[in-house]
């Protein structure tokens, strides 16, 4: 009977089974890339020098590994052991950094500190675990589980474009705040949950080193800085790096409070550090120099904050505010505020949406035309689709690349298979990339050009491991199922299913109710006794691995127990939650 169930499950899931695995693209031929403009080539090449690879001695007993990946890792030498602040993006990078630190000290690693929960700071942790160190972090660090579950597909795709993971090293000159983001097919993620979390300030002496871990929200809400008062060393995480900050990131992020960020910088200034050690770019020495730089840095952030709000209060819409808010000359010209990572224009738009939401105040925006209707309007104004394409080609001939690009957005809604339109868009994307000094924007342009040329969606296989999943809350994975529910498949379904996880001591009900999945955590005894359409008893780790794509549902579902129900019925239920197929954003799609 069990064998027959497996065959039936195979039939039920075969059409969508591939959607359970995040596939990386096959090797593609990138489009012919135009050489960088003279200005962009000069500035990006000079900026790359900041990431020269090596272990930099900050002061006695404190070293920063720079250039081994997008982020830095910092080593503090204690009496009998080492403290490592941030652990790189992958286990492979972490091992390379640890090997480099071993040229300085062979003491065991007794403590790890996460400055915040971004992948390039925490996912190499397994490389440093042989001596079972204590791990310190802010209590919000575990919020990363949401990014690993509900938002994983879209953030993975947009990050792949932004960081240029699919581009050649020659085309991805640098990553803005580091030489590259070292994620590729086969990379291993090794996040290890913190053993000690805190809020506010944690005074700690580790291996004879006195330090304060201070909550300092900025690039993330869980951000902390590490202050060593005797050495007057401030490890500032990502609240400062040698480029205009990512007050908004084009990969997508919850709103980042600019006010919290510049207030954190004020706290950092008040410490009067003699050494400033960012977790991207190089350490800085000298209290007067650090004070000047941090003051300018916080002033730039406050300027964008205040002037964006002032413009909103003048009734301006985002497109107008972008033209209105420009940094004062002394800030715009500062070498540590150049737009190699964040941009003022992106930050302004984030300020608007973060404070006022999506509606710009223009009545025409209340019920805007659909993308298809707007495309038809563009074609009609030009005298037809063919004429609109001719206009776009003329604009490209005049090197009005942005105007041509925007017209191709409309035209692809009407003729998505047109090779002529695609080729024009690819040409405009490559031209914009050639003049772009911001690596994030440049990578995004070039990656979309590659996607359109080769017909794929940019996604890299992220090397999640069972160990990582074991440290992430089961609740995040169960709750994320609701996001993946196919409303058409569920429009006539009214089914209450319970899942018990005895090993984890948790239980949930999932009520699919005509297009909505109500997920509730319940007492296991309640789920065991309540009337249900189906009840499954499952292993929590296997269930997480299945939802994360590490295990096929074809072979995992039959391993669970059912009463009432069976594996075939549960497979049919789970199939409604298979992750949807992703498209390139510019292409039309109706879900």
pLDDT in tens, 327-363: 999 999 999 999 999 999 999 999 999 999 999 999 9
Task: Using alpha carbons, list the distances in angstroms from residue 485 to 510, 511, 519, 578.
Answer: 11, 11, 12, 7
Least confident of 23-32, 342-351, 381-390: 23-32
The architecture of the domain spanning 2-22+463-575 is: 2-Layer Sandwich (3.30)
Computed over its alpha carbons, how large is the radius of gyration of the chain? Answer: 26
Domain residue extents for the chain: 2-22+463-575, 53-228, 369-454
pLDDT given at position 268: 98
Percent of all residues in the chain with a pLDDT value above 70, rounded to a whole number: 92
pLDDT digits (tens, 9 = 90+) for 399-418: 999 999 999 999 999 999 99
Give the pLDDT mean for 210-227: 97
Question: In this predicted structure, what is the pLDDT of residue 579?
Answer: 86
* CATH architecture under which domain 369-454 falls: Alpha Horseshoe (1.25)
- CB burial string 189-225: b at 16+ within 10 A, e below: bbbbbbeebbeeebebebbebebbbbbbbbbbbbbbb
Q: Residue 25 pLDDT more than 80?
A: no
Q: 213 and 229 in contact (C-beta within 8 Å)?
A: no
Cβ-Cβ contacts under 8 Å for 222 (sequence gap 6 or more) = 116, 117, 137, 138, 139, 140, 141, 143
Residues 132-164 have pLDDT tens digits of 999 999 997 665 555 556 777 888 899 999 999
First to last CA, the chain: 37
Classify domain 53-228 at the CATH class level: alpha beta
Q: Tell me, rounded to whole angstroms, the distance of Cα 196 from its chain centroid.
A: 25
- What's the pTM value of the predicted model, to 2 decimals? 0.90
Query: Helices 439-454 and 152-163 meet at what angle, rounded to 10?
Result: 110
Residue 294 pLDDT > 90, yes or no? yes
Average pLDDT of span 111-120:
95
- Computed over every residue of the chain, the mean pLDDT equals 91
Nearest to 70 by CA among 85, 56, 53: 53
Strands 109-113 and 82-85, how do they pair? parallel
- pLDDT at 468 (0 to 100): 77
Residue 402 has which token pair?
Answer: 């942005």
Q: Which two tokens stand for residue 349?
A: 């738009």
| Percent of the chain's residues with pLDDT above 90 | 81
Q: What is the distance between the alpha carbons of residues 339 and 346, in angstroms, rounded to a whole number?
A: 11
DSSP assignment string, 47-101: HHGGG--EEEEEETTEEEEESSSSS-EEEEE-SSSEEEE---SSHHHHHHHHHHH
Mean pLDDT of the region 267-288:
98
- Give the residue with greater pLDDT, 318 vs 473: 318
Residue 185 has pLDDT above 50, yes or no: yes
Question: Per-residue pLDDT for 533 more than 60?
Answer: yes
Q: Residue 277 in contact with residue 245, Cβ under 8 Å?
A: no
- Concatenating the DSSP letter of every residue in 354-382 gives HHH-S--S-GGGTSPPPHHHHHHHHHHHH
Residue 183 has pLDDT above 90, yes or no: no
Predicted pLDDT at 469: 83
State yes or no: pLDDT of 462 exceeds 80: no
CB 141 within 8 A of CB 116: yes
Q: Which H or E run contains 22?
A: none
Please check the confidence at residue 232 and state whether its pLDDT lies above 50: yes
Q: What would the mean pLDDT of 349-378 be, rounded to a whole number? A: 96
How many angstroms separate the CA atoms of 256 and 241, rounded? Answer: 16
Assign 42 a pLDDT band (cuts: 50, 70, 90).
Answer: very high
What pLDDT score does 331 carry? Answer: 98
Residue 85 has pLDDT above 60, yes or no: yes
| Cβ atoms of residues 256 and 350 within 8 Å | yes
Helix (H) / strand (E) element for 475: namely helix 474-484
Lowest-confidence region among 40-49, 310-319, 452-461 = 452-461
């Amino acid at each position: 009977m069990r064998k027959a169930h497996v065959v039936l499950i195979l039939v039920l899931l075969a059409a969508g089974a591939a959607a359970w695995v995040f596939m990386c693209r096959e090797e593609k031929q990138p489009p012919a890339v135009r050489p960088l403009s003279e200005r962009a080539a000069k500035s990006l090449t000079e900026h790359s020098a900041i990431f020269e690879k090596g272990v930099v001695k900050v002061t006695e007993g404190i070293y920063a590994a720079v250039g081994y990946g997008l982020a830095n890792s910092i080593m503090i030498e204690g009496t009998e052991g080492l403290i490592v602040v941030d652990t790189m993006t992958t286990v492979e990078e972490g091992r390379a950094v640890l090997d480099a630190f071993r040229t300085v000290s062979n003491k065991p690693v007794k403590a790890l500190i996460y400055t915040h929960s971004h992948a390039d700071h925490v996912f190499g942790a397994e490389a440093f675990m042989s001596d079972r160190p204590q791990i310190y972090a802010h209590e919000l660090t575990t919020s990363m589980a949401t990014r690993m579950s509900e938002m994983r597909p879209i953030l993975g795709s947009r990050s792949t474009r932004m960081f240029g993971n699919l581009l050649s090293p020659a085309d991805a000159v640098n990553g803005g705040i580091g030489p590259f983001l070292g994620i590729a097919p086969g990379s291993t993620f090794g996040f290890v949950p913190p053993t000690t979390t805190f809020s506010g300030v944690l005074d700690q002496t580790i291996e004879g080193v006195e330090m304060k871990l201070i909550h300092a929200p900025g690039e993330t809400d869980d951000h902390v800085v590490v202050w060593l008062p005797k050495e007057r060393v401030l490890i500032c995480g990502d609240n400062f790096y040698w480029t205009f900050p990512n007050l908004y990131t084009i990969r997508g992020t919850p709103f980042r409070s600019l006010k919290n960020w510049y207030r954190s910088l004020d706290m950092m200034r008040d410490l009067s550090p003699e050494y400033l050690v960012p977790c991207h770019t190089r350490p800085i020495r000298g209290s007067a120099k650090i004070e000047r730089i941090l003051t300018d840095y916080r002033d730039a952030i406050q300027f964008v904050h205040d002037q964006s709000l002032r413009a909103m209060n003048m009734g301006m819409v985002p497109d107008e505010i972008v033209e209105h808010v420009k940094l004062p000359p002394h800030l715009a010209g500062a070498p540590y505020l150049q737009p190699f990572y964040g941009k003022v224009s992106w930050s302004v738009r984030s300020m608007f949406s973060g404070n006022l939401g999506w509606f710009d105040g223009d009545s025409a925006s209340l019920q805007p035309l659909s993308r298809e209707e707007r495309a038809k309007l563009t074609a009609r104004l030009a005298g037809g689709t063919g004429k609109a394409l001719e206009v776009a080609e003329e604009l490209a001939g005049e090197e009005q690349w942005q105007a041509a690009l925007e017209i191709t957005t409309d035209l692809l809604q009407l003729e998505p298979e047109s090779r002529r339109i695609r080729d024009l868009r690819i040409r405009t994307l490559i031209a914009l990339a050639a003049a772009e000094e911001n690596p994030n924007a440049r990578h995004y342009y070039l990656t979309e050009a590659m996607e359109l040329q080769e017909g794929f969606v940019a996604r890299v296989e992220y090397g999640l491991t069972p160990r990582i999943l074991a440290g992430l809350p089961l609740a995040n994975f169960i709750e994320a199922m609701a996001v993946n529910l196919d409303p058409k498949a569920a429009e006539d379904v009214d089914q209450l299913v319970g899942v018990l996880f005895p090993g984890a001591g948790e239980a949930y009900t999932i009520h699919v109710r005509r297009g909505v999945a109500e997920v509730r955590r319940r007492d296991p005894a309640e789920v065991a006794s309540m009337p249900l359409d189906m009840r499954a008893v499952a292993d929590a780790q296997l269930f997480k691995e299945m939802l994360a794509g590490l295990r096929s549902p074809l072979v995992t579902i039959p391993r669970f127990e059912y009463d009432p129900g069976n594996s075939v019925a549960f497979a049919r239920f789970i199939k409604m939650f298979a992750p949807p197929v992703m498209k390139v954003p510019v292409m039309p799609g109706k879900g």
